[in-house]
Amino acid sequence: MSARSKIILLVIALVLTGSCLFAGHEPQKAGKAQDKDDLYNQIELFSNAVSAIRSDYVTEVDSKKIVYGSLRGMLSSLDDFSSFLDPDEYKEITAEAKGEFGGIGVEITSKDGILTIITPIAGTPADRAGIKPGDKIVRINGKTTKDMTMNDAVKLMRGDPGTQIVLTVWREKEEKVLDIPIKRAIINITSIKDAYLIENKIGYVRLIEFQEKAGRELEDALKRLEGQGMDALILDLRNNPGGLLDTAIDISEKFLPKDQVIVSTKSRNPSQDNVYKSSGRFGHPQYPMVILVNEGSASASEIVAGALRDNKRAVLVGTKTFGKASVQTVMPLRDGSGLRLTTALYYTPSGKSIMNQGVVPDVVVEREEPGPVQKESGDIFDKADENQLKKPVKTERPKDVLENDNQLREALNLIKAIKVYKAQS
């Protein structure tokens, strides 16, 4: 058997085996013979290219480099969120879900083919440096991001703590190109950034990530505030890029009675569609609730906001959310690499898909940026500044929080009005 024939058979075997093994899925019986013939023809085309590279490229190429490169191209051609993860990237994404990773603290996506900031994570170097949701990344340390994959961008932004990176961004609202220096750090994030009584027994909780421990952290914060007499809640999901679907469901059902639809997912195979309902196991009081959202609220944040709004459990205040309504499943491969594959779209309880549309709040309030703040003297990259991430959750209201946040003021006024209305009804 010729080398070319062996390659064709090997690739066919890999493709067919992979289709049977991923996540325990069975091959779909509805496939037509014509589709299979087309697949074999395309695989033969691929094998021709591999043979040419192995025999005629100017230098010998490592087989893993060919396969990894092919997988990157294949996954990135599907949509903006699917990607191939080499072993190091797979380890990093696992660490991110647990809340510990190195870098500058941003969530990015590819929007219209341009690397775009979903949001800087609160309290991280990127947040303190002034990165904003919607910033388009033009260069990373002087290297153009044109045609750059998200994985490659993440690799460039990751690095040793204490080293500096410069992001060049296009800020559309200001029509400016900005060079923003950022100092890398080890990012240790708690999901709950703030939790305190803001005024008149009204609680304020700021949730910045949907990590594995977010549900437990929120439960602890709610019990503490309820123990202090909390009778209304403002849940701040602004600039929360999302995270785990299970965590979004866990958090939503804390505020819903039993058997309320939280979210539904629809995949390629109807037998794998799911409708997630609340279990009623948490049973927090039906106190008035307002959720703050903005253009940096994405994915799991939009699930929670949509679930509580559609079930008439909360009122949304702020600006339209990001509009990421797809579910990615991370699938390990045998050599330690993995796939991040879009496997479903999610829908709010009312049946709406918000993919690329976002959630429009009940009360739209544009953010008014506060005036210039007098900064303390000293190097903004001072090592002590990096240690802010390790400070405990704030449990007391900062004196100037309402003065500098018009959206929060509107949410507070609204929830006061709801309390008055309920008291009189």
- Residue numbers annotated as active site: 299, 310, 324
Residues 6+ apart with CB under 8 A from 13: none
Measured distance CA(79)–CA(210) in Å, rounded: 23
Q: What is the DSSP letter of 20?
A: H
Q: CA–CA separation, 373 vs 403, rounded Å?
A: 12
Closest listed residue to residue 97, CA positions, set 200, 247, 228: 247
Q: CA–CA separation, 146 vs 150, rounded Å?
A: 11
Phi, then psi, of 378 in degrees rounded to 5:
115, 170
Distance CA 195, CA 203 (A): 7
Q: How many CB atoms lie within 10 A of CB 328?
A: 19
H or E segment at 316?
A: strand 315-318
Cα 82 to Cα 274: distance, rounded to the nearest angstrom: 21
Residue for token pair 């802010």: 388
CA torsion 113→118→124→129, rounded to 10°?
A: 70
